[in-house]
Structure 1
Amino acid sequence: MTAVNESQAILFSLALIGLTWYVALWAIGILGCCSARKRYRLRPRSPLATSISAPGVSVLRPLKGLDTNLYENLESTFIQEYPDFEIIFSVADNDDQALPIVRDLIRKYPNVKTRVIIGETVVGVNPKVNNLIRSYQEASNDILWILDSNVMVDSGTLGRSVDALSGLGVSHLQKPQKQVALVHHVPFAFGNGGRLGSRVEEAFLNTNHAKMYIAINTIAIESCVVGKSNLYRRSDLERVNGSLKPLTNEMNIVGGERGLKAFGRYLAEDNMIASSLWHELDQRHDLSCDVARNVVGNMTMSDYIWRRVRWIRVRKHMVLAATILEPFTESIVLSVIACTSLNNLCGIPRWIVLVMHFTVWLLIDLDVYASLAGHPMPPSRRWQFIVAWTIREILALPIFLLAIVGDEVIWRGNRYQVLRNGEVKQAAHSRFRSWFQKIIHFKQIKHYEQIIDQSDDD
């Protein structure tokens, strides 16, 4: 075989591999879109809403400061259509600005069982875990619903989530073969339309992130959980420790730190808890047919970029292979693969492939948005959304390249070094500050900012 023929054979093989990868990624994207349609466009009322035999649930909401839309976020848990639940709010200190809002809500809903726990228990570097420890220990019920303070939920969410945890939920696309240990909710971002970073974050979470998240959880070959809103049993969590090693003998639970305390050393404790329930107990997860309405607030572009950098760096130390493959799942890189492969294999002009690729990709993303929102993107917001969506797609690869080379992250004003499996330690202060710290600007929200729920108008 001549050198020319060998070169042609290599190019043909690479083009075939590229086209196969492209088709596979499209299949995953279409699966996410179709699953979103089937799962989220119908949200029936749970029979547990009026059942006298509904299991008790403890709703744990860790708080720190005045998050955007905090009053409405917290109020959404008071109005759950469920007969037996308690709400436990936890703050680290008595001066926390969230406490007056909590007390206002307690006065407004005197018939809801509510407690406030002040004071954290330090078990690791993760402040959220430290804040939750006492609530976790003092909760009256085995079923726990952990909700971030920047999340708002529909009034029927708890009932449908308990349905799913019991394996009875109508949200199942197919019945899991193993017991469900955790129910989670896909984040759906919304804001007040302020800064560009907020719009880009919305475009990311409500389209590509949601599409891939739903598809991965539909295939369900591995744990994939975001901890904005998670429901699980304390009795299950007390059996795991983050080792990800199968618990083959119940006697193995004796000795060593287990339960929530064991996850204080992780930055992404939500993902590690989910993975531990999956691998150590050989149990599974499920998505209910509800979303966690994630209030993004006024994010600058710098906020958005460094938020993405932080979680890529964490994922790199948890699932390295999947993280390395991540750029090859993004629309721009995939478009280059597609137009090059199809041009070499079939002679199709590159511009035709690019036009078709981005047109259909955007239409699918808009369809995913409509499924999660419960209504199509309104014409008045469509072009604004498309601009934010385009910026997100263009920035995906540069952000990844920036993130993949570092190990330090900044979270809630503290610097951490990410270790193996997503564990973190406080980063040592040094005279030398990395260049990105001179660019990034962190600020705390000093006042309560309300966001009007635009679901009826948008």
Structure 2
Amino acid sequence: MFPSWLSTHLTRGLGIAFAFAATGYACVALWAMLKRPRRTWASNDTQPRPATVLKPLHGAEPKLYENLRSFCVQTHPNYQIVFGVRDPDDPAIAVVERLRHEFPQQSIALAIDSRVYGANFKVSNLMNMLPHAQHDVLVLADADIYVKPDYLARVVAPLADPSVGIVTCLYYGIPGPSFWSRLGRLFIDDWFAPSVKLSNAFGSTQFAFGSTIALRRDALATIGGFDVLRDLLADDFWLGELTRRAGLQTVLSDVVVGTEVGESTLKDLWTHELRWLRTIRAIAPAGFALTFVCFTAPLLLLGLCLAPGPVTAGLALLGGAARVLIHFLQRRISDQAFAWHEVLLIPLRDALLLMEWAVALAGWQVKWRGQVLHARGDGSAPRT
């Protein structure tokens, strides 16, 4: 048994440590969001190289027409879009046909192919789509992504440098009408995006996102094509990682795209975010174990409970202010209005994240597209 005075000091020290860690992370993340990028990329080509956009589809996702349409109105002078589905009865086909009718001048191909090559059905879809691609610059983007008209021209510009392997984009959440959708948007905007910017501010490029991955066909061939990804869960991350291992750079574009957040129930939100968190754990287990310092509100509250006093109160005020400023900056980045009532959701959002993080540590199973997979630590995802 510890003496009572020692136990008291240890408890107080632990409380101050929790408050300091949470506040320190929030302040450094805020700094990273305000920091200018080290380099901006612009193409000197008067005629950007032709590009093919690969869009794997699965079902009639929320606002699918609006999101796919945003890719049909790009300012890039010469590009093709290849859509791909595995099921000939997929409702997404009707949306593609609608776009073909609306934009007859746009080069739009549709691959309908049910062949499966591994555990990752999305990668199988991409493998079936690739033969339809006409150009050497490839841009992969998930179905739920919304972009602005200058997106494609800006994203492919860094690929003019032969040392660049992939270009990827951060994204912000576009919430639906439900309460849980708004909480899901906060997962992306207030936690995920700041953590990536913080990592990048310190020089890391250990990331790649399904929101956008642009690469040249020769870089894809260098790593062995899509075939090497067929049994990997985080195919987007591994596209970046394998090109980095081949000696090529990863560029985080200054383009930020939107992604639909369509969860309408707590169960849907929990399942989706648990899949994300377990995927992150599989990619970076050591870093994931320390992720709890990102959950500002619960840690500050715990610090105040363990060590009430002016030190923890001051840290809590500073950490809380930084957390609110991060929220405000993300609204500006996404061109969405700042709503003060959403600030009240921050403690709930952080508490839910903390619970999901704890559950993510306890297992590897994820549910995705009707499949049950295991996000193993080596990146593979065998079906169960």
Q: Give the TM-score, by structure 1 length.
A: 0.75
| Code of the aligned partner of 1:265 | D
Of 400, 408, 416, 2:357 maps to: 400
Separation in 2, partners of 1:282, 1:336: 45
| Code of the aligned partner of 1:270 | D
Separation in 2, partners of 1:47, 1:312: 39
Of 329, 351, 355, 2:317 maps to: 355
CA positional deviation for 1:25: 2.0
Q: Is the 8 A contact 1:183 1:285 kept in 2?
A: yes
- Residues 236 and 6 (structure 1), Cα distance of their counterparts in 2 relative to 1, 3 Å cut: same
Match of residue 443 from structure 1 = none
Separation in 2, partners of 1:393, 1:184: 27
Q: How does 1:151-162 map to 2 (within 5 A)?
A: 151-162=145-156
Separation in 2, partners of 1:164, 1:220: 18
What's the C-alpha RMSD, in Å, of the aligned pairs?
3.0
Separation in 2, partners of 1:19, 1:389: 16
| Code of the aligned partner of 1:28 | V
Q: How does 1:8-407 map to 2 (within 5 A)?
A: 21=21, 24-35=24-35, 38=36, 51-52=46-47, 54-166=48-160, 179-193=163-177, 195-240=178-223, 258-278=224-244, 280-335=245-300, 348-370=310-332, 372-374=333-335, 376-377=337-338, 381-383=339-341, 385-407=342-364
Q: Name the % identity.
A: 22
- Residues 11 and 390 (structure 1), Cα distance of their counterparts in 2 relative to 1, 3 Å cut: closer
CA positional deviation for 1:76: 0.9
Q: Is the 8 A contact 1:121 1:133 kept in 2?
A: no
CA positional deviation for 1:91: 1.0
Q: Is the 8 A contact 1:197 1:302 kept in 2?
A: no
Match of residue 250 from structure 1 = none
Match of residue 247 from structure 1 = none
CA positional deviation for 1:338: 6.2
3-state SS of the aligned residue for 1:424? coil
CA positional deviation for 1:56: 1.2
Q: Structure 2 stretches of 5 or more lacking a match?
A: none
CA positional deviation for 1:67: 0.9
- Residues 135 and 16 (structure 1), Cα distance of their counterparts in 2 relative to 1, 3 Å cut: same
CA positional deviation for 1:55: 0.8
Separation in 2, partners of 1:352, 1:6: 24
Q: What are the superposed Cα offsets for residues 141-188 of structure 1, whole Å, 9 maximum, x if unpaired? A: 221111111111111001111123335xxxxxxxxxx93211111121
Separation in 2, partners of 1:376, 1:72: 20
CA positional deviation for 1:59: 0.4
Q: Structure 1 stretches of 5 or more lacking a match?
A: 168-177, 241-257, 428-458
| Code of the aligned partner of 1:125 | A
CA positional deviation for 1:15: 8.1
Separation in 2, partners of 1:340, 1:219: 33
Q: Which moved more, 1:290-299 or 1:316-325?
A: 290-299
Q: Is the 8 A contact 2:27 2:322 kept in 1?
A: no
CA positional deviation for 1:237: 1.9
**May I ask how many residue pairs the two structures share in their alignment?**
381
- Residues 335 and 266 (structure 1), Cα distance of their counterparts in 2 relative to 1, 3 Å cut: same
- Residues 166 and 4 (structure 1), Cα distance of their counterparts in 2 relative to 1, 3 Å cut: farther
Separation in 1, partners of 2:110, 2:85: 8
Q: Is the 8 A contact 1:315 1:422 kept in 2?
A: no
Separation in 2, partners of 1:179, 1:71: 36
Q: Is the 8 A contact 2:283 2:379 kept in 1?
A: yes
Separation in 1, partners of 2:16, 2:343: 32
Q: Is the 8 A contact 1:62 1:128 kept in 2?
A: yes
- Residues 19 and 96 (structure 1), Cα distance of their counterparts in 2 relative to 1, 3 Å cut: closer
- Residues 390 and 46 (structure 1), Cα distance of their counterparts in 2 relative to 1, 3 Å cut: farther
Q: Is the 8 A contact 1:367 1:376 kept in 2?
A: no
Separation in 1, partners of 2:258, 2:23: 32
Separation in 2, partners of 1:25, 1:136: 42
- Residues 10 and 70 (structure 1), Cα distance of their counterparts in 2 relative to 1, 3 Å cut: closer
Q: Is the 8 A contact 2:137 2:215 kept in 1?
A: yes
Q: What are the superposed Cα offsets for residues 214-272 of structure 1, whole Å, 9 maximum, x if unpaired? A: 221232324122212211122112222xxxxxxxxxxxxxxxxx211110101111111
